[in-house]
Amino acid sequence: MTPSDVKATLSFSDGSPGIDMPLYKGTHGPDVIDIRKLYAQTGKFTYDPGFLSTASCQSTITYIDGDKGELLYRGYPIEQLAEKCDFLDTCYLLLKGDLPNGQQQKDFHKLVTNHTMVNEQMQFFLRGFRRDAHPMAVLTGLVGALSAFYHDSTDINNPQHREVAAIRLIAKMPTLVAMAYKYGVGQPFIYPQNDLSYAGNFMRMMFATPCEPYKPNDVLVRAMDRIFILHADHEQNASTSTVRLCGSSGTNPFAAIAAGVACLWGPAHGGANEAALNMLEDIQRNGGVEKIGEFIKQVKDKNSNVKLMGFGHRVYKNYDPRAKLMRETCHEVLGELGLHDDPMFKLAMTLEKIALEDDYFVSRKLYPNVDFYSGIVQRAIGIPVPLFTAIFALARTVGWIAQLNEMIGDPEYKIGRPRQLYTGAARRDVKSVDQR
């Protein structure tokens, strides 16, 4: 970060001691005010629940321009990566800072492919769950359990350990997600097959059975790979911040990523794709397009607590570029499957059109986000709705790891420990029980 020649001056109207604070510039985006000396020099904290105006770190990985609706991974626009690269290239980019050349691409793909199996004991661990357990409950358990199997890559301060753990996590997440799915439907687990692509291997582990050969559909595989690319990283969102804070204690990478999985599950975050599809199915069930007006009225009624899931974003105040790419992928997949008239897709596009013309959404800059269309694509591919967020977690694992590694490698990092404004009971003495 580059020191700005502008300073921030804080003064207090009661004349208590003020402070001059340095400003720093980044490559893109808002400057930051360095408040690290604020408490020492003024005895005061800043106050920013939800961190709307707070940068928790400096990062070189991803940049979002919310006003423009722009998303860059290591400087490359998401549109170009989605069109010209595959997910493993994107993993290499996020982890190492640039796209691989031919040899690096071959070596990296081989390295990941050779780590896709999980320890056989994992299936016995998995059998402890109810068959109808939510896949995210299972995945949170499975990812945390990886630290019980891979003691040789749990020292987060050892760069070799971090490298091995990164490859293991990226390679094994598809296997674990597919196992969680197969366990839920009572089918046998399908082992990874090394001659398939990352996304092709995942599709086979999901949909193949031992009874007959399975040939992945290239259009659906490409769509799955693109879904992975679009979900790979996204600055300091809630789950990434969770991973950073968890990892800042020095815990092992598997435990930190498991914390990210748990946070992503929430409907305000990664769980929104499942919630968005359930919302569309509810509207469809209660009358479809004709009922959209009624539903929008409910959303606008604060007392209803109904939100338009898949809409709105803390950073994007314009169309989420991932939603545009996801809508294109919808067209491709539904076209390939002869589902041009998929009622869910038509309903989603009608709902989007109505919302984008309604002042409630326009005035609040609420646009479709990545979760609005992703559920329709995944449903068309055959992914069951409860598994949507697990697939989001699969894709986001590389972003979490890249951000975690960046933090551990940052000389400025310390264990994260926010402060608070205490508004509870003033100091008081305990009374004996007969006086209470």
Would you say 60 and 74 are in contact if contact means Cβ atoms under 8 Å apart?
yes
Q: In this chain, which of 126, 164, 262, 309 binds ligand SDX, going by CB under 6 A?
A: 309
| Residue facing ligand SDX at closest CB distance | 312
Q: In this chain, which of 115, 291, 314, 317 binds ligand SDX, going by CB under 6 A?
A: 314
How many Å from the N-terminal Cα to the C-terminal Cα in the chain?
A: 57
Of the ranges 6-14, 108-116, 241-249, 265-273, which one interacts with ligand SDX (CB under 6 A)?
A: 265-273
Rule CB under 6 A: say whether 308 interacts with ligand SDX: yes
- Which DSSP helix (H) or strand (E) runs through 32? strand 32-33
Least distance from C-beta 200 to ligand SDX, angstroms?
24
Q: Which two tokens stand for residue 316?
A: 């994007």
Rule CB under 6 A: say whether 364 interacts with ligand SDX: yes
Rule CB under 6 A: say whether 62 interacts with ligand SDX: no
Rule CB under 6 A: say whether 205 interacts with ligand SDX: no
The rounded distance, in Å, linking the Cα atoms of 242 and 249 is 12
Map residues 211-250 to x or -, x wherever contact with ligand SDX holds by CB under 6 A: -----------------------x--x-------------
Rule CB under 6 A: say whether 272 interacts with ligand SDX: yes
Would you say 422 and 254 are in contact if contact means Cβ atoms under 8 Å apart?
no
The rounded distance, in Å, linking the Cα atoms of 38 and 47 is 12
Of the ranges 139-147, 149-157, 163-171, 306-314, which one interacts with ligand SDX (CB under 6 A)?
A: 306-314
Least distance from C-beta 266 to ligand SDX, angstroms?
8
- 134 vs 234, beta carbon nearer ligand SDX: 234
The vertex-239 CA angle with 233 and 241, nearest 5°, equals 90
- 85 vs 277, beta carbon nearer ligand SDX: 277
Would you say 156 and 281 are in contact if contact means Cβ atoms under 8 Å apart?
no
Please choose, from the candidates 395, 376, 134, the residue with its C-alpha nearest in 3D space to the C-alpha of residue 279. Answer: 376
DSSP 19: E
DSSP 266: S
Would you say 419 and 192 are in contact if contact means Cβ atoms under 8 Å apart?
no
Q: In this chain, which of 260, 310, 375, 386 binds ligand SDX, going by CB under 6 A?
A: 310
- Contacts with ligand SDX by CB under 6 A: the residue count is 21
Would you say 71 and 77 are in contact if contact means Cβ atoms under 8 Å apart?
yes
- 9 vs 363, beta carbon nearer ligand SDX: 363
Map residues 366-395 to x or -, x wherever contact with ligand SDX holds by CB under 6 A: x--xxx------------------------
- Contacts (CB under 6 A) with ligand SDX, residues 408-427: none
The rounded distance, in Å, linking the Cα atoms of 413 and 403 is 12
Strand partners, 32: 24
Rule CB under 6 A: say whether 297 interacts with ligand SDX: no
Q: Which two tokens stand for residue 22?
A: 């340095």
Interface contacts to ligand SDX, rule CB under 6 A? 234, 237, 268-270, 272, 299, 307-315, 364, 366, 369-371
